[in-house]
Amino acid sequence: MFNSIRTLLRHAVAATAIFFTAVIGAYAQAPSGDPIKVGFSMSLTGAVAPNGRQLLLTLEIWRDDVNAAGGLLGRPVELVYYDDQSNPANVPSIYTKLLNVDKVDLLLGPYATNMAAPAMPVIMQAEKTTITLLAIGVNRHFNYDRYFSMIPLGPGGVKDFSRGFFELAAAQQPKPKSVAMVAADAEFARTAADGAKENAKALGFSIVYDATYPPPTTDFSPTMRAVQAANADIVFVAAYPPDTVGIVRAAKEIGLTAKMFGGTMVGLLATPLKVQMGPLMNGYINNAEVFVPVPGFNFPGVKEVLQKYQERAKGQGIDPFGYNFVPYGYAAAQVLGMAVEATKSLDHAKAADALRSSTFKTVVGDVAFGKDGEWAKPRTVVTQWRNLTGNDLGQLTDLQKWSVVWPAEYRNADLVYPYEAAKK
């Protein structure tokens, strides 16, 4: 069966190339019949709405591309979604409604670890397949064989997310010895911190401070003063968008003396927050970036998708670039569509078989799924900001200021170390 699926997938992958040809609108047969409903929840309000709104626009672009190309199985695609308000408690009822009331044919998402985890019991009970959007380590709790994750972590799971951060630290001379850990008391941040602790211990670092803070915290001065008192060589933080500015600002105000400061702050994936922070980001080392517009990431089709997004995003008050979220949101839907076309059905078991057994050519490059539905091969990067002098948007596209420092395959600059030398 897998060989036949692979053959079908090769044809489906080749067919997706028509999404990016100039003649598609003129020659594609218009889809007809009842729409294929693709259901998901999305954070359109609340803490992670800046990211969720990017992803919704991205999925609308995918829908329009697919329909312009003749639909899926010759039928038009329709998106059915509800705002989960960035609240995990809202997610189970949304997926229950999508399946039992809306009778959606396919599932995507949810977006983000906090929302993906509570959706899983509903999805598992219904024996459905889903591809979550930028969620980390969710399936380590469920081991569900119809779960797939669109984020470039690999078989190492959550450890792959922060591996580069600690490998960079271990390579410094003299090697730093101690680590302070700070994380939000929420699913994503705890998961990221768990992986960071494993990496730290494996590379011989001593964890001298380990604390969580309750969302929503607004004053991070006490937290960062406690970190400073621990006198750790390295500070690793796992935080959400609203917390990012407060944590980095508090670190500057107390004169943080650590030799490395950074971690998994998803706030630094959103351009508006980057603009707000400006020079506060100097020296910060981020392992949360998943797409940086360096030459190695110029995958077929991604430039066209980003251009469409950037044009539609004008005037909507959302991220004007879409670098981290747009490619992966589009690729998740792209892969789901390829599995449908390859199996010529909407059967979730067949789709899961196809997703497990094949490599997909997408706008984020080749994607193959391995253990727990994570990527078979990781493609994480570590970035560092330097030489930011103001809060203007233009400098955020300068790759001399937004540098990839790990791994060597994508590196365009060396790490500036220690933190004191880079934060000026």
How does pLDDT run across 41-69, given as a tens digit for each residue?
999 999 889 899 999 999 999 999 999 99
Total-model pTM: 0.88
Domain extents for the chain?
Answer: 2-152+295-373, 158-289+386-422
What pLDDT is stored for residue 20 in this prediction?
43
- Cβ contacts of residue 284 below 8 Å, gap of 6+? 248, 261, 262, 265, 268, 384, 385, 423
Q: Supply 50's token pair.
A: 């800046």
Q: How far is CA 385 from CA 9, 53, 56, 129, in A?
A: 40, 25, 28, 38
| pLDDT above 70 for 24 | no
What pLDDT is stored for residue 242 in this prediction?
77
Chain centroid to CA 232 = 29
Do the domains 158-289+386-422 and 2-152+295-373 match in fold?
Answer: yes
Cβ 187 vs Cβ 114: under 8 Å: yes
| pLDDT above 80 for 8 | no
Cβ 156 vs Cβ 198: under 8 Å: no
CB atoms within 10 A of CB 1: 9
Residue type, 225: R
What pLDDT is stored for residue 320 in this prediction?
94
Q: Which fold has domain 158-289+386-422?
A: Rossmann fold (3.40.50)
Q: Report the relative pairing of strands 382-385 and 365-368 from DSSP bridges.
A: unpaired
Closest of 345, 343, 342, 369 to residue 355, by C-alpha = 369
pLDDT band at 21 (very low <50, low <70, confident <90, very high): very low
112-126, 261-275, 348-362: segment of lowest average pLDDT: 261-275
- Cβ contacts of residue 87 below 8 Å, gap of 6+? 46
| pLDDT above 90 for 347 | yes
Closest of 102, 104, 100 to residue 130, by C-alpha = 104
| pLDDT above 50 for 94 | yes
| pLDDT above 50 for 210 | yes
Q: Supply 199's token pair.
A: 């990496």
User: What's the average model confidence in pLDDT over 338-361?
Assistant: 97
- Residue-wise pLDDT tens digits, 156-185: 888 998 999 999 999 999 999 999 999 999
Place of tokens 């560092």: 384
% the chain with pLDDT above 70: 93
Q: How far is CA 384 from CA 1, 252, 296, in A?
A: 46, 16, 17
Find out whether the peptide bond into 110 is cis, omega within 30 degrees of 0: yes
Could you tell me which residues are beta bridge partners of residue 213?
184
Q: Is 106 exposed, middle or buried (0-12, 13-18, 19+ CB in 10 A)?
A: buried
Beta-carbon-side half-sphere exposure of residue 119 (alpha carbons within 13 Å): 33
- Residue-wise pLDDT tens digits, 392-406: 888 888 877 889 999
Our separate counts of H helices and E strands in the chain read 14, 14
Q: Which fold has domain 2-152+295-373?
A: Rossmann fold (3.40.50)
What pLDDT is stored for residue 395 in this prediction?
85
**CA–CA separation, 280 vs 234, rounded Å?**
18
| pLDDT above 90 for 28 | no
- Residue-wise pLDDT tens digits, 216-260: 899 999 999 999 999 999 999 998 777 888 999 999 999 999 999
Q: Supply 197's token pair.
A: 């602790």
What pLDDT is stored for residue 198 in this prediction?
96
